[in-house]
Each structure stands twice: as C-alpha cells, then as structure tokens.
Amino acid sequence: MTRSLPGPSRDAALLVARLVLGVVLIAHGWQKLVINGISGTAEVFHNFGIPLAILATSFTVVVELVGGAMLIFGVLVPVASSFIMVVMVGAIGFVHAPHGIFASKGGWELVAVIAAGILALSATGPGRYSIEHLLRSRKPEVPAPVVVPEQITTSPFLVQGR
C-alpha cells in the first residue's frame, strides 16, 4: 500500500529537506572559501588527484554556495541539483570511495546522503513553500487552443478556391 503525505505536510517536508541540504552545502562552500581559502582547498584537491584543481575548487565553491542558496529559496531546483550532483559524484569518485562508508573515516556516507536528497528533490520539485511555486502561481493562465473538429474543415459544403 502506497501513501503519500497530504499536500501541506508534503510541502513542509520538502521545505525542511531543502533547508537542511542548503545549509549543509553552504557550510561546506563557506569552509572551502573562507576557512581553508581557495588556494588551500585547491592544494587539497590537487593532493587527491583532482584534475585542474583550482578550477575544480572554484566550481565546487560556487556550486555549494549558490546551489545551496537556490535550494533554500526553492529557485531553479533541477538546475541547482544537476550541478550539485556533479560535485557529489566527483567527491565520491576522487576522495571518499577508497575510505569506505563511514564519514568519520573519510568515507562516502555524507556525500551519498546529500546526493540522495538532491535526487529526491529533483524528482519531486521544491514544493509549495518555494519561490518557484510563487512565481508559477502568479503567471497568467494561457487559454487552451481552440480545436476545430476535422469534419468541419473537410465538409463538402466548403469549397476551396472561390
């Protein structure tokens, strides 16, 4: 038996998921930018064998900071999720996979949980408590196109060319 949450509860759950994931991503981006610094983080990336470490660092910092904020506010969630997923897959592949599952030993569990949350948000959308929903609900409705039944256009009483 499959049941989903009622609308308001579902939207509240999506909001909590977006807030938690967004805050975690922003914290990690802030750590790389301010605490460790771009050059310090790029050195760590280089030591892990990440190609073009300075570019990868810059990309990761922007994705974590901007993508995290986009999640929090619920703006362009599929776009943000795509970039975040690239960072998470790279983090697992280049850094965390060889260390096993547990984050306490440098493993992939935190990164995989973030990726799974991002995947779930991509599948469901940001929910009602988001800027995306607010913008969508304010768009004027476009009237449905008028469909002319085929029998009218092919009637023998309509003579073409006169």
Under a CB-based contact definition with an 8 Å cutoff, are residues 130 and 77 in contact?
Answer: yes
**Residue 96, token pair as written in the block:** 């965390």
Q: Provide the pLDDT for residue 78.
A: 94
Q: Give the per-residue pLDDT at 94.
A: 96
Please give the full DSSP string across 85-128, using - where no structure is assigned. HHHHHHHIIIIIGGG-S-GGGT-SHHHHHHHHHHHHHHHH-S-S
pLDDT in tens, the chain (162 residues): 567 777 789 999 999 999 999 999 999 999 999 999 999 999 999 999 999 999 999 999 999 999 999 999 999 999 999 999 999 999 999 999 999 999 999 999 999 999 999 999 999 999 999 999 898 888 666 677 777 666 555 555 555 555
Give me the pLDDT at residue 145, please. 78
- Rounded Cα distance between 12 and 23, Å, is 16
